[in-house]
Amino acid sequence: MPVIVLQDITKVYNTNALPVTALAGVSLSIEPGEFTAIVGPSGSGKTTLLNIIGGLDKPTSGYVEIEGRDLTGMKPSEVIDFRLRRIGFVFQAYNLIPVLTAKENVEFIMLLQKRRKEERSRRSQELLKSVGLEEFMHRKPPQMSGGQQQRVAVARALASVPAFVLADEPTANLDGVSALNLLDIMEALNHEHRVTFIFSTHDPRVVARAHRIITLEDGRIVSDAGSAGSIK
């Protein structure tokens, strides 16, 4: 069963001027284990699409199904809880809490889920080890490089054991070496643990690793290349 199904998604923003159509009839499905890049020029609708998949924004019309559940039909409180438990996010700006250590940042999602302290501690250490930061778990974000902070963000995104991870321009603020290291880690997580990743990106390095490339222009899918769910 697809982990994500979008049916005829339209998103129109009403501004002070004319209405702006960000998405115009987008339909697609994502299978478990995909490593998919959503690409296209600025203003093509990439971030809007990710926000709708992640429940951060609602479509003007259309249907969003996550793991067989109708996301568009949920109450706001239900969307928040579902997002907390089933969707992981990696943002361009890291979005870590600067006063917390790396371990505490990873634990924060599990704290919101009201998991036991012992479980939070064990899983956060395991996740930081998986992204190569076992020795840095007690450092705070200002004491870490951009690449290290983004790896903490990946570990945090996986803390809830999500159905999939949405990564919005995750390499945009990283130098070349850090970007490649991050991609190596995410690709390994995809290969070894079947973690589903969906990227919004301009970065050719991300596109080169993707198994499926969905191209948007003017809010529409103009190409969809690659095998859904395939592993290179």
Residue 36 lies in a domain: yes
Residue 87 lies in a domain: yes
How far apart are the C-alpha atoms of 202 and 187, rounded to whole Å?
18
The total number of structural domains in the chain stands at: 1
Residue 231 lies in a domain: no
How far apart are the C-alpha atoms of 191 and 207, rounded to whole Å?
17
Say what percent of the chain tops pLDDT 90. Answer: 87
pTM of the model: 0.90
Domain with 202 in it: what CATH number?
3.40.50.300
Q: Which of 1-5, 18-22, 26-30, 61-65 has the lowest mean pLDDT?
A: 18-22
> Which pLDDT score, from 0 to 100, does residue 169 have?
92
Model confidence over 70-92: pLDDT tens digits?
999 999 999 999 999 999 999 88
- Range of 18's domain? 4-226
**pLDDT, averaged across the chain:** 92
How far apart are the C-alpha atoms of 199 and 3, rounded to whole Å?
15
Q: Which neighbouring-strand residues pair with 92?
A: none
Residue 232 lies in a domain: no
How far apart are the C-alpha atoms of 224 and 93, rounded to whole Å?
28
- For residues 94 and 77, the model is more confident at 77
Residue 232 has pLDDT above 70, yes or no: no
How far apart are the C-alpha atoms of 199 and 46, rounded to whole Å?
9
> Which pLDDT score, from 0 to 100, does residue 15 have?
76
**Structure confidence at residue 226 as a pLDDT band (50, 70, 90):** confident
Residue 178 lies in a domain: yes
Residue 28 lies in a domain: yes
> Which pLDDT score, from 0 to 100, does residue 84 have?
93
> Which pLDDT score, from 0 to 100, does residue 32 have?
96
Q: What is the mean pLDDT of the segment spanning 197-223?
A: 95
How far apart are the C-alpha atoms of 172 and 189, rounded to whole Å?
20
Model confidence over 30-58: pLDDT tens digits?
999 999 999 999 999 999 999 999 999 99
How far apart are the C-alpha atoms of 215 and 44, rounded to whole Å?
9
**Structure confidence at residue 228 as a pLDDT band (50, 70, 90):** very low
